[in-house]
Amino acid sequence: MRIENLLKRGLVKYEEADRLQREIWAAVRDGIQDHTLLVAQFEPTYTAGRNTHEVDLLNKELPVIRTDRAGSLTWHGPGQLVIYPIVKLREPVDLIAYIRAVEAAVVDSVRDTWDVPVETIKGRAGVWMRYRDAGGRTAVQRGAGQDRKLCAIGLKVVQATTLHGLALNINPDFSNAFTGIIPCGLADAGVTSLFEEGAYPAMDQAAAVITGQLAKKLQPLLATGTS
């Protein structure tokens, strides 16, 4: 698995990374380049996926980039680690298995490395800190409280080759991040970060841990004859 690490460039423009991912996607699709994990930290940017509803944009003055990924509105910027797995999948493509593998890579990384008890929630993409009251009841069971999303996942697969990926909140400034939108279109949920949950990794450390787990979890799904 090849790593294309843009972190050394500092903050990069979303459009620049998007152009690069599409160049890599074509090369991976055609078998010219190995499976690649594109790693970056973006300049402050709002993006809207294919499932965005206008009501999710609370501040109509915000500049929003429309994308072809799944999901709704989200924010990218300083303190957030973005990783795009650009891989060729075995056919017939099992999209659900691919999504679950990406989620599992994040869950295992966060739990095993930083001892933060994240999990997935049925019917909601991404990786979460689940709300539980003193009696262990969830927000749904209690009818109150908010689950908090730590990592957003928005993907696309074209010609058995993947685009887009995950955005893990390490330490974004929440006084600016995610303002003016309903993140991921979920009005009944919140957002959190590793710092908020008591874990303090450096960006490059987090990138190394997550990319290692992604390479491991995705390997069984890759097209034969590729690496």
Q: What domains appear along the chain, each with residue ranges and CATH number?
A: 2-117+152-221 (3.30.930.10)
Give the residue numbers annotated as catalytic, written as ranges. Answer: 184
- Quote the CA–CA distance of 117 and 133 in Å, as a whole number: 15
Contact status, residue 167 vs residue 82, Cβ threshold 8 Å:
yes
Query: CB-based burial of residue 96 (10 Å sphere; 0-12 exposed, 13-18 middle, 19+ buried)?
Result: exposed
The reply to whether 218 sits in an annotated binding site is: no
Local confidence pLDDT in tens for the 227 residues of the chain? 999 999 999 999 999 999 999 999 999 999 999 999 999 999 999 898 887 777 777 777 788 889 999 887 889 999 999 999 999 999 999 999 999 999 999 999 999 999 999 999 998 889 999 986 656 655 444 444 589 999 999 999 999 999 999 999 999 998 887 877 776 656 667 899 999 999 999 999 999 999 999 999 999 999 976 55
The reply to whether 144 sits in an annotated binding site is: no
- Quote the CA–CA distance of 112 and 102 in Å, as a whole number: 16
- Quote the CA–CA distance of 118 and 169 in Å, as a whole number: 13
Task: Please report the pLDDT score of residue 134 as a whole number.
Answer: 57
For the chain, the residue count is 227
- Quote the CA–CA distance of 112 and 210 in Å, as a whole number: 11
Cα-based distances in Å from 11 to 7, 23, 190, 205: 7, 20, 25, 17
Record the pTM: 0.91
Helix (H, G, I), strand (E, B) or coil at 147: coil
Report H helices in 74-154. Answer: 95-114, 139-142
Give the relative orientation of helices 203-218 and 95-114 as an angle to the nearest 10 degrees.
140
Task: Please report the pLDDT score of residue 226 as a whole number.
Answer: 57
The reply to whether 135 sits in an annotated binding site is: no
The reply to whether 215 sits in an annotated binding site is: no
Count of CB atoms within 10 A of residue 29's CB?
Answer: 16
Work out whether strand 80-86 and strand 36-42 pair parallel, antiparallel, or are unpaired.
Answer: antiparallel
Q: Record the tokens describing residue 188, joined without a space.
A: 């009944």
For residue 156, which amino acid is it? Answer: K
Measure the N-to-C terminal CA separation of the chain; round to a whole number of Å: 6
The 8-class DSSP code of residue 223 comes to P
Contact status, residue 38 vs residue 83, Cβ threshold 8 Å:
yes
The reply to whether 167 sits in an annotated binding site is: yes
